[in-house]
């Protein structure tokens, strides 16, 4: 184990104690800073990047009460520093331990210490702090991402009616199942529900169930401890724990392998789960939102989906209609996406001409809102003037020569130069468009496995 970048501050008035700890910790790769009293320690904490504190509770002014250590802990609480503290004393008692723990001490060890025990506690606290920091970063990223999403105001009667129903129950704790074809906006509706719930100030954690390998299901959902299995080199926080006090959105819920459905059912029934490699039971506190484009009833009939799990998921079920069934939204959505991509790519403003709006309204939209978003994104990027015309819209019913990349002599035109990453994104989007967002079919077109395509979709943050 290498801890070369890990600085530990030892606060103790006895030089022999500090020397002994320095030798022990430096032999195990840590960098040690020493302070002979709490006042010196306060200065050093502001000057150096300390990862953990070893604090003696008794100093020369008072060798038994621990008051000096408690005074330092009181100061530390007001400093806004987030560091683990391990308290040490040769005169420990229950009252002192309780007081220290209330003031933020993570662990307590008596002098003389056992080297192996002390090293284990240090490693454990550093690992836990790393997980907490990772958790905080992820939650902040999720919160920031959610805050940047601009809402679209629906216009079609069917969507307005659906939103009225959703708004009525959004601030309850009821489980919700969203159904509908690929690209109809189930993810956006899940964000809407969370934003209007009592948990809106906490995280919304999204999980694409189709992208999770069967053998990694428990690790992804419930987390694992370091060493829990062969490749578990670091501890991992599961999605249920990440979503604590917030909302958990399980997309493509019908893709959960039958062998793993009982594990999810147990959490939904009891609210309890265990991290892999730990015997401690954790109580979950999340609001569950699920979505699927499949017919779960058919999967139940063929015994591929548990009926009892289905009834746990769909306390209330809402169906999102196809874009072709809500045509009042097509043109307003197109304008919304134009503004979105102009802002995203920092481009000059452009507008749809009336003929282009008519073409959008006449199109059958097999890919729904996602197809419209991809189409407008391409049109905005390739627009050479301030207007988007019918020719700028790669609708599927246009001439094949327009879409196929061939010139008037039916010769293949050379591809424009771009980075491999952009080319990969473009090919994935084309495959998704061609297959109406059918992941297995798109993967076959691209010569990939389904899981490989899912990884690339997540890597490039492609909305599916």
CATH number of the structural domain spanning residue 93? 3.40.50.2300
> Quick one: pLDDT at residue 413?
46
Residue with tokens 């019908």: 254
Averaged pLDDT for residues 358-383: 91
**Residue 95's pLDDT band (boundaries 50, 70, 90)?**
confident
Task: Let me know whether 309 and 344 are in one domain.
Answer: no
User: How many other C-beta atoms are found inside a 10 Å radius of the C-beta of residue 436?
Assistant: 18
Range of the domain at 110: 7-131
> Given pLDDT bands bounded at 50, 70 and 90, which one contains residue 148?
very low
What is the CATH number for 153? 3.40.50.300
Question: Would you say how long the chain is, in residues?
Answer: 464
Position 383 in a domain? yes
Question: Of 131, 161, 187, at which residue does a domain stop?
Answer: 131
Does residue 282 sit within a domain? yes
pLDDT at 210 over 60: yes
For residues 371 and 341, the answer to whether their CB atoms sit within 8 Å is no
Tell me which H or E stretch contains 109.
strand 107-110
d(C-alpha 74, C-alpha 77), whole Å:
5
Q: Does residue 241 sit within a domain? A: yes
- The Cα–Cα gap between 314 and 128 comes to 36
- The set of residues, in sequence order, having a beta carbon less than 8 Å from that of 348 and lying 6+ positions away, is 342, 386
Distance CA 9, CA 414 (A): 62
**Residue with more model confidence, 187 or 66:** 187
Burial of 204 (0-12, 13-18, 19+ CB in 10 A): buried
172 and 222 assigned to the same domain: yes
Give the max Cα distance, the chain: 95
User: Residue 282, Cβ neighbours under 10 Å: how many?
Assistant: 18
pLDDT at 63: 52
Q: Is the pLDDT of residue 409 over 90?
A: no
In a domain, 50, yes or no: yes
pLDDT of residue 4: 44
Residue 340 lies in a domain: yes
Pair (302, 335) in one structural domain: no
**283 and 348 together in one domain:** no
CATH code for the domain of 331:
1.10.8.60
Q: Distance between CA atoms of 185 and 336, rounded to whole angstroms?
A: 14
Q: What band does 397 get if pLDDT is binned at 50, 70 and 90?
A: low
Structural domains counted in the chain: 4
Cis peptide before 112 (omega within 30 of 0): yes
Which of 321, 347, 362 finishes a domain?
A: 321
Q: Which two tokens stand for residue 60?
A: 């020369």
Predicted confidence (pLDDT) at residue 18 exceeds the cutoff of 70: yes
Residue 152, pLDDT above cutoff 80: no
Q: Please give the C-alpha separations between residue 390 and each of 358, 393, 411, in angstroms, as whole numbers.
A: 9, 5, 24
Residue 194 has pLDDT above 60, yes or no: yes
As a whole number of angstroms, the distance between CA 440 and CA 455 comes to: 13
Last residue of a domain, one of 277, 300, 321: 321
For residues 24-40, average pLDDT? 92
Task: Tell me how crowded residue 423 is: count the other CB atoms within 10 A of its CB.
Answer: 13
Q: What is the CA radius of gyration of the chain?
A: 29
Residues 359 and 227 in one domain: no
Q: What would the two tokens of residue 278 be?
A: 């730990």
Cα gap 6→262, rounded to integer Å = 42
Q: What is the mean pLDDT of the chain?
A: 85
More confident residue, 159 or 413: 159
Q: Which residues lie across from 207 on neighbouring strands? A: 250
Do 378 and 250 lie in one domain? The reply is: no
- Rounded to an integer, the average pLDDT of 364-380 is 92
Q: Does 18 map to a domain?
A: yes
- Res. 102 pLDDT band, cuts 50 70 90: confident
Judge whether residue 410 has pLDDT over 70.
no
Same domain? 155 vs 272: yes
Q: Tell me, yes or no, if the pTM score tops 0.95.
A: no
Do 246 and 165 lie in a common domain? Answer: yes
For residues 300 and 332, state if they share a domain: no
The model's pLDDT over 285-341, given as tens digits with 9 standing for 90+, comes to 999 999 999 889 999 999 999 999 999 999 999 999 999 999 999 999 999 999 999
Inter-axis angle of helices 420-434 and 368-382, nearest 10:
140
Q: Which is nearest to 381 in space by CA: 442, 429, 323, 322?
A: 429
Percent of the chain's residues with pLDDT above 70: 88
Question: Do 260 and 171 reside in the same domain of the chain?
Answer: yes
Q: In terms of domains, do 39 and 171 share one?
A: no
The SS3 of residue 238 is coil
Confidence (pLDDT) at 175: 96
Residue 1 in this model has a pLDDT that exceeds 60: no
Residues 315 and 211 both lie in one domain? yes
**Which residues 6+ apart lie within 8 Å of 184 measured at CB?**
320, 321, 322, 323, 368, 369
> 92 in a domain, yes or no?
yes
Whether pLDDT at 349 is above 70: yes
256 in any annotated domain:
yes
Report the pLDDT averaged over residues 114-126: 92
Structure confidence by residue, pLDDT tens digits, 44-75: 998 888 999 999 887 755 555 677 888 899 89
The pLDDT score that the predictor gives to residue 402 is 37
In the prediction, which pLDDT does 141 show?
56
């Amino acid at each position: 184990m290498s801890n070369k970048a890990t600085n530990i501050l030892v606060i103790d008035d006895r030089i022999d104690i500090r020397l002994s700890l320095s030798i022990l910790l430096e032999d195990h790769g840590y960098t040690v800073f020493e302070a002979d009293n709490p006042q010196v320690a306060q200065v050093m904490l502001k000057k150096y990047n300390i990862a953990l504190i070893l604090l003696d509770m008794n100093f020369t002014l008072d060798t038994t009460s621990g008051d000096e250590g408690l005074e330092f802990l009181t100061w530390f609480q007001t400093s806004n520093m987030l560091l683990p503290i391990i308290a040490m004393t040769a005169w420990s008692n229950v009252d002192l331990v309780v007081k220290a723990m209330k003031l933020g001490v993570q662990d307590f060890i008596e002098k003389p210490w056992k080297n192996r025990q002390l090293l284990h506690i240090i490693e454990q606290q550093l690992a836990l702090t790393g997980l907490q920091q990772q958790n905080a970063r992820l939650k902040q990223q999720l919160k920031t991402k959610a805050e940047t999403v601009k809402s679209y105001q629906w216009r079609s009667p069917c969507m307005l009616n659906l939103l009225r129903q959703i708004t009525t129950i959004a601030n309850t704790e009821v489980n919700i199942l969203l159904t509908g074809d690929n690209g109809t906006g189930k993810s956006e509706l899940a964000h809407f529900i969370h934003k209007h719930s009592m948990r809106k100030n906490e995280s919304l954690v999204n999980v694409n169930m189709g992208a999770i390998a069967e053998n990694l299901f428990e690790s992804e959902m419930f987390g694992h401890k370091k060493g829990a299995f062969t490749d578990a080199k670091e501890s991992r926080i599961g999605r249920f724990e990440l979503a604590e006090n917030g909302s958990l959105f399980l997309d493509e819920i019908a893709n959960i392998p039958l062998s793993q459905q009982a594990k999810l059912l147990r959490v939904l029934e009891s609210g309890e789960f265990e991290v892999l490699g730990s015997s401690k039971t954790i109580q979950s506190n999340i609001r569950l939102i699920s979505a699927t484009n499949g017919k779960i009833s058919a999967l139940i009939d063929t015994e591929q989906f548990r009926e009892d799990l289905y009834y746990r998921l769909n306390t209330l079920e809402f169906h999102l209609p196809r874009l072709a069934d809500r045509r009042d939204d097509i043109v307003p959505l197109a304008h919304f996406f134009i503004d979105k991509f102009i802002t995203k790519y920092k481009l000059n403003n452009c507008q749809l001409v009336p003929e282009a709006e008519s073409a959008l309204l006449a199109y059958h939209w097999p890919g729904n809102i996602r197809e419209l978003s991809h189409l407008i994104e391409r049109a905005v990027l390739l627009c050479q003037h301030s207007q988007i015309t019918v020719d700028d819209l790669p609708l599927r019913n246009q001439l094949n020569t327009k879409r196929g990349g061939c010139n008037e002599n039916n010769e293949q035109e050379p591809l424009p130069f771009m980075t491999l990453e952009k080319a990969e994104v473009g090919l994935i989007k084309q495959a998704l468009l061609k297959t109406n967002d059918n992941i297995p079919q798109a993967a076959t077109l691209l010569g990939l496995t389904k899981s490989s395509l899912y990884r690339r979709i997540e890597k490039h943050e492609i909305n599916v």
